[in-house]
Structure 1
Amino acid sequence: MSTISVIITTYNSETWLEKVLWGYAVQSFTDFELIIADDGSTSKTKDLLDSFKSEFKHPIVHVWQEDNGFQKTKILNKAIVKASSSYILFSDGDCIPRRDFIATHLKHKKKGYFLSGGYFKLNDVVSNSIDANSIKNQSCFQIKWLLDNGLKLNFKISKLTQNSFFGQFMNWITPTKKTFNGHNTSCFKEDLIAVNGFNEEMKYGGLDREIGERLFNNKIKSKQIRYSAICLHLNHDRSYATKDNWLNNNYIRKFNKQNNVTTIKNGLSKYLNHED
């Protein structure tokens, strides 16, 4: 059994996923289980995963479901059940982790808490400029390299600090809320099971925040690590985002907050019971 399970979501995005896999292949901490939560990709994704078999200490776990529209909450619940570790880190197939990403999450993990990380968003030019070499040697996490390859200077670049004291200070003073962010959050598996995982009534738009709000209702707190656990967010469109989905998701979140809801009916329990 590995020390930590890392769940990465993906859907027909092999070019970006390959960059992400290289990010995990060069992690300073290697005793982790990598789970790919695949919401219906073609065989190209499986072929890519097969090509990375020798790069990790533990076999890659490929959790796949048939393509039937946006079903991220469903595939995440299936992946959680498959996780062999008691501690789980969530991220996305468009987020490249810095070398110390997993080690940082493990360093800050604490019973009764989930960890709230962030990301540094890239434009199309920089996203396409990153290759396996710049990930392996970590140059793509250096401010100079990013500026040389098309990044426009902005105040958010401070997220890429490699000074641990500055990072801790920024975690402390940032006004950003300590939310459950699907691209960079970790927590104990037992806490996810206690609230019945992700709400499968929800489509794109705040589905990760919603499970975090139920964790709060269930007396789980949060720690801010957005300036310590660093990942680069590759740019892409979101054709699956619709106004109706946002309205429905916002209604669910508002109801759960007002009624102090901790668990939901349509969650991961059906997979714990070995149902399809």
Structure 2
Amino acid sequence: MKLSVIITTYNSEEWLQKVLVGYSVQTEPDFEVVIADDGSTEKTKTIIEYFQSQFKFPIVHVWQEDNGFQKCKILNKAILKTNSDYLLFTDGDCIPRKDFVAQHLKHQEEGYFLSGGYFKLPRETSLKISLENIQKQDCFSISWLIKNGVSKTFKLSKLTKISLFAAFMNWLTPTKRTFNGHNTSCFKKDLIAVNGFNEEMQYGGLDREVGERLFNFGILSKQIRYSAVCLHLDHKRGYATPETWEKNNTIRNFNKKHNVTFIENGLSKYISE
């Protein structure tokens, strides 16, 4: 298959259901879905089992026991369960537009990772989006979003369907080309070379840190935030604390200063499993 989509989730069944509907209507069917599940209950397993017949390839469910926020750990395990050479990382609260996978495949290039963004929805709109809205792609219509609680701002231009304008905005945007856990793709071999995600890190910049080590390793990045579009559903983040941010920033600063590529506490420990 051409690509593996790795979706992180934790006890967010309603949002995950909407996201999986988004992947079930992709224009590019040649991909697998790998759910990186950081300890969800049986409810999530039930949702996944329902959708397993909706895709050309089976959905792989990689689960670990709930022991606090261990996103890096479950991502490393999920990477090693993928069956393709190219990986697309996203979250279980990000609904992909129907050309999402196709855009990542279109822009993939050896020696690069692709840096995408998202359009953040208010809570009201997040709840209003139905499964039918996703199947028909209504929720990616600017007029539909405005009618359903989204403010009329320039940020709506992220949802452009005009490829020339998207390419121009990708070039123009001042947003840095970072590794974003909600919308980034890369070659599996590059991630393995830097030993995947750093399990010393909790919430707060853990995905950016991977990208920084990839930069140190010689991998460049391309901006596709206006080409590969996803909608971010609103939710609370109870796992973010000043202490974890401080610890993570210390790790990132050290790695930048010392040009670190390979970290010890990464995916290599699972390779023999």
Give the TM-score band, short-chain normalised: over 0.9
1:23 maps to which residue?
22
1:131 corresponds in structure 2 to 130
Q: TM-score, normalised by structure 2?
A: 1.00
Q: Does 1:143 align with 2:136?
A: no
Cα separation, 1, equivalents of 2:246 and 2:51: 40
Name the counterpart of 2:270.
Answer: 271
Q: Distance in 2 between matches of 1:53 and 1:98?
A: 20
Q: In the alignment, does 2:197 pair up with 1:211?
A: no
Distance 2:132 2:121 in 1: 18
Once the 2 structures are TM-superposed, how far is the Cα of residue 70 of structure 1 from its aligned partner? 0.1
Alignment of 1:191 with 2:190, yes or no, is yes
Question: Distance between the aligned counterparts of 2:53 and 2:10, measured in 1?
Answer: 23
2: CA distance, partners of 1:82 / 1:195: 17
Residues 13-52 of structure 1 aligned to structure 2 (within 5 Å)? 13-52=12-51
Deviation by residue 1:68-112 (Cα, 9 ceiling, x = unmatched)? 000000000000011110000000000000000000000000000
Q: How does 1:87-102 map to 2 (within 5 A)?
A: 87-102=86-101
Q: 1 CA distance for matches of 2:83 and 2:51? A: 20
Provide the secondary structure at the position in 2 that maps to 1:217: helix
2:179 corresponds to 1:180: yes
State how 1:76-87 maps to structure 2 within 5 Å: 76-87=75-86
Query: 1:273 and 1:21 mapped to 2: Cα distance?
Result: 30
Counterpart residue number, 2:242: 243
CA distance in 2: counterparts of 1:19 and 1:114, whole angstroms? 26
Normalised TM-score (structure 1)? 0.98
Distance (Å, rounded) in 2 between the aligned partners of 1:6 and 1:203? 22
CA distance in 2, matches of 1:257, 1:273: 30
State how far apart, in whole Å, the 2-side matches of 1:166 and 1:18 are. Answer: 31
5+ long unaligned stretches in structure 1: none
String of CA shifts for 1:242-264, please: whole Å, max 9, x gaps.
Answer: 11000000000000000000010
Give 1:273 shift: 2.1
Q: Secondary structure at the match of 2:47?
A: helix
SS in 1 for 2:251: helix
SS in 1 for 2:39: coil
Q: Deviations over 1:168-198 (max 9, x none)?
A: 0000010000000000000000000000000
Within-5 A mapping of 1:54-93: 54-93=53-92
- The one-letter amino acid of 1:193's match is I
Cα distance in 1, alignment partners of residues 271 and 114 from structure 2: 25
**Letter matched to residue 81 of structure 1:** L
Tell me, in whole angstroms, the C-alpha distance in 2 between the residues paired with 1:54 and 1:262.
39
Q: Matched residues in 2 for 1:54 and 1:202: separation?
A: 35
**2:74 partner SS:** helix
194-203 or 151-160, which moves further after superposition?
Answer: 151-160
Give, in whole Å, the separation in 1 of the partners of 2:199 and 2:162.
40
The count of aligned residue pairs is 273
* SS, match of residue 88 in structure 2: strand
The alignment status of 1:167 with 2:180, answered yes or no, reads no
Q: What residue number does 1:262 align with? A: 261
1:153 matched residue in structure 2:
152
Report the alpha carbon displacement of residue 152 of structure 1 after superposing the two structures with TM: 1.1
**Partner SS state of residue 55, structure 1:** coil
User: What displacement does 1:267 show?
Assistant: 0.0
Task: Give the superposition deviation at 1:53.
Answer: 1.6
What displacement does 1:153 show?
1.1
One-letter amino acid of the structure 1 residue matched with residue 39 of structure 2: G
Deviant stretches of 4+, over 6 Å: none
Taking only the aligned residue pairs, the percentage that are identical comes to: 68
Q: What SS is found at the alignment partner of 1:167?
A: helix
